[in-house]
Amino acid sequence: GDSVTQMEGPVTLSEEACLTINCTYTATGYPSLFWYVQYPGEGLQLLLKATKADDKGSNKGFEATYRKETTSFHLEKGSVQVSDSAVYFCALTHPERSNDYKLSFGAGTTVTVRA
Amino acid sequence: KAGVTQTPRYLIKTRGQQVTLSCSPISGHRSVSWYQQTPGQGLQFLFEYFSETQRNKGNFPGRFSGRQFSNSRSEMNVSTLELGDSALYLCASSLGSGRGALDTGELFFGEGSRLTVL
């Protein structure tokens, strides 16, 4: 079955530092890949996505590139802010499958940014 | 527009009891999914409904059930509660599609119902 592996946290950074959260996946077929973010006390929200190999998703200064050869989708931001403190989830789904109506999530990585 | 609303936000039950959680999706969204979030297991898929039909179910015991109403609102029920059922239960809605899977992958999540089983 599908699986998503994220780097373990927690990660603590200073403001303006660079952030990278590693994500690798195991899946057959042609999955779409996502990063969701969960801010304290809130539900998850989509941060960015990529639907095919070599696609780059970007949003709010975050980027991730779909690398099929390394089965990876690492999340990066060049300069983090305190407001980026949250839990980040890597996820995948299979839009090519007619009976797959779910997202498979990684374990989540807690990021804390200190002023 | 209003987001996904889940009720109750917090509840405490004892072992053996049952619980019903409610979810109101974003207006116009026809697909509702449920996920269980725990520190040990992360986010686990429970089930997904579209137009009152369950299209997909995760690997949970039969004590976990759900349904969707004609207005797309959904409920999930857990019977004979166990300590391990303590978790944050998240509901998510999406436009859904008659054809197939989560083709856009964008789910809109509620804030969750936090269940504590004593």
At B102, the pLDDT band (50, 70, 90 cuts) reads low
Using a CB–CB cutoff of 8 Å, tell me whether B95 touches chain A.
no
Q: What is the pLDDT of residue A29?
A: 82
pLDDT band with cut points at 50, 70 and 90 for residue B101: very low
Query: How close are the terminal C-alpha atoms of chain A, in Å?
Result: 41
Closest Cα in chain A, distance from residue B16 (Å): 28
Q: How confident is the model at residue B11 (pLDDT cuts 50, 70, 90)?
A: very high
Owner of token pair 């999955």: A31
Give the model's pLDDT for residue B59.
93
* Residue in A21, A36, A17 with CA at minimum distance from that of residue A80: A17
**DSSP at A82:** G
CB of B88 less than 8 A from some CB of A: no
pLDDT in tens, B75-93: 999 999 999 999 999 999 9
Asked if residue A101 has pLDDT above 80, the reply is no
Q: Does position B51 have pLDDT exceeding 50, yes or no? A: yes
Q: Is the pLDDT of residue A59 over 60?
A: yes
The shortest CB-CB distance from A101 to any of B3, B101, B111 is to B101
**Listed residue (B79, B66, B65, B82) closest to B32, CA to CA:** B66
Pick from A89, A96, A99: CB nearest B56: A99
H helices present in chain B, as ranges: none
Interface of A with B (CB under 8 A): 32, 34, 41-46, 49, 51, 89, 91, 93-108
Q: Nearest-CA residue of chain B relative to A32?
A: B105
Q: What is the DSSP string of A14-71?
A: ETT--EEE-EEEE-SS--EEEEEEE-TTS-EEEEEEE-STT-EEEETTEEEE-BTTTT
Query: Are A97 and B101 an interchain contact pair (Cβ–Cβ within 8 Å)?
Result: yes
**With an 8 Å Cβ cutoff, are A43 and B109 in contact?**
yes
| Mean per-residue pLDDT, A83-98 | 87
Q: How far apart are CA A42 and CA A22, in angstroms?
A: 23
Compare CB distances from A95 to B43, B55, B103 and report the shortest one's residue. B103
